[in-house]
Amino acid sequence: MNIEQIKNYRKEAYQHLTTELLPFWENRCVDKENGGFITHFDNAGIDSGEDEKSLIAQTRTVYTFSAAHRAGYGDGRYAEIARHGVEFLINKMWDNEHNGFYWLMDRKGNVRIDEKIVYGHSFAIYSLAEYTLATGDPRGLEYAEKVFDLLQIHGADTHYGGYFEMFHRNWELKGTGPAGGDRKTLDAHMHLMEAFTTLYEASGKQVHRRKLLEIIELLVSKIMHPVYGTGIPQFWADWAVAPQIKFDIIWGWDRFSEDGFKSSAEDNTSYGHNVEFAWLLMHALDIAGVPYDTYESQILKSFDHAVQNGIDWEFGGVYVEGSHEGEVYDREKEFWQQAEVIIGMLDAYRVYGDDKYLKAYDAVHRFVFDKMIKREVGEWLPLLTRQGEPIWNHISHSWKVNYHSVRSMVQGIILLDKLLNQVEISE
């Protein structure tokens, strides 16, 4: 390990985080008039005027400022910004009649979509628990636990395991097909693992730990490919693999054909998801007090598939997706996969010490810092060609906010510091 190289990575990450990324959001996102956060910005970083506040963008921004404050940034300002967001969630987005959070509101806080989407509720748990860990304000944990309890009552599939994901306002399960009531996804269950990890860290309650361990086992035994250890995107209720389709109101609108189906709908996996899953699993095991050895085979398969197939060794960065066996389908470079691979490859190198992980990190780090960051604005572009030319030009909307980019820098710096400390100890 080249110590100077590690120090340079850290210097770049710290400078980007503290002089570009965090100031971008601190100076733009707080809606002082209506509460909550403004989350839609054009290529120049100017408010695009989109009249919406989504559960996913509001919770992720609460997480971002809570986690940044907890990591020691902002001199207390970020705790206040997080509190501002929590109050909008509790006072405006919470459904006092049926409980849970609405999916979408306008800027003033009027409900536009009243459905209860488990993906969004996973981020409510994650962000609100993080907020309490960061600030000590008990309201975050109170509402995180309320959401957890709602999911056990309304969302849990007591027959096949896991959670249904798409509900009407009153928590009645939605219909089949694009309505999503008959499907389960890797995405939602991976983020529930992430959420339950932080919830247990904040609460210390055994029921939260049990549900965390339960969802880890389900992810490894049902959702990850039995041979390749790669993530399978969609399932039927009984965990039979389902062809990946576009749901009515949420994510993935940009990655499907006009008929709503994905190309290679039954054989595609995301390199970014696989690496994100692996490092989130390691973190979950840390919090739960379970050794990595328990799931080492899965962890290594997730990391190694991405290194072998997903890293672009010529132009840098990580591809979007490919087959479980290894063929690359989509060689574009999307922001969130880069962010998760930055964290995952550092964590893999920290634990397993194999140089291939540090080389993979370098390939992604350089692509992000040389191609993906729009320097005159301070945030990342959402989607680039393989070579690094912009395809989409907006800086932020409901699905492309601050959670991935800021978290990659905050966690990346923590991991780079751990690597530097390992060297000091060994010397």
Other residues' Cβ atoms within 10 Å of the Cβ of residue 297: 11
The C-alpha torsion from 285 through 414 and 380 to 123, rounded to 10°, is: 40
198 phi and psi, to 5 degrees? -70, -35
**408 pLDDT higher than 80:** yes
**252 pLDDT higher than 50:** no
Mean pLDDT (whole number) for 266-287: 95
The domain containing residue 267 runs over which residues? 3-426
Q: How distant, in Å, are the alpha carbons of 29, 101, 315 from that of 109?
A: 16, 12, 44
Residues with Cβ within 8 Å of 288's Cβ and at least 6 positions away in sequence, in order, are 197, 200, 209, 212, 213
User: Which pLDDT belongs to residue 425?
Assistant: 73
User: Which pLDDT belongs to residue 256?
Assistant: 43
Read off the pLDDT of residues 15-69 as tens digits, 9 standing for 90 and up. 999 999 999 999 999 999 999 999 999 999 999 999 999 999 999 999 999 999 9
Provide the number of structural domains found in the chain. 1
Average predicted confidence (pLDDT) for the chain: 95
Mean pLDDT (whole number) for 403-420: 97
Other residues' Cβ atoms within 10 Å of the Cβ of residue 135: 21
412 phi and psi, to 5 degrees? -60, -45
Read off the pLDDT of residues 297-355 as tens digits, 9 standing for 90 and up. 999 999 999 999 999 999 999 999 999 999 999 999 999 999 999 999 999 999 999 99
Stated as kind and residue range, the H or E segment containing 273 is helix 271-288
Gap between the Cα atoms of 334 and 230, Å rounded: 19
CATH of the domain at 252: 1.50.10.10
Gap between the Cα atoms of 266 and 308, Å rounded: 21
The C-alpha torsion from 115 through 118 and 120 to 125, rounded to 10°, is: 130
User: Which pLDDT belongs to residue 253?
Assistant: 44
User: Which of residues 118 and 422 earns the better pLDDT score?
Assistant: 118
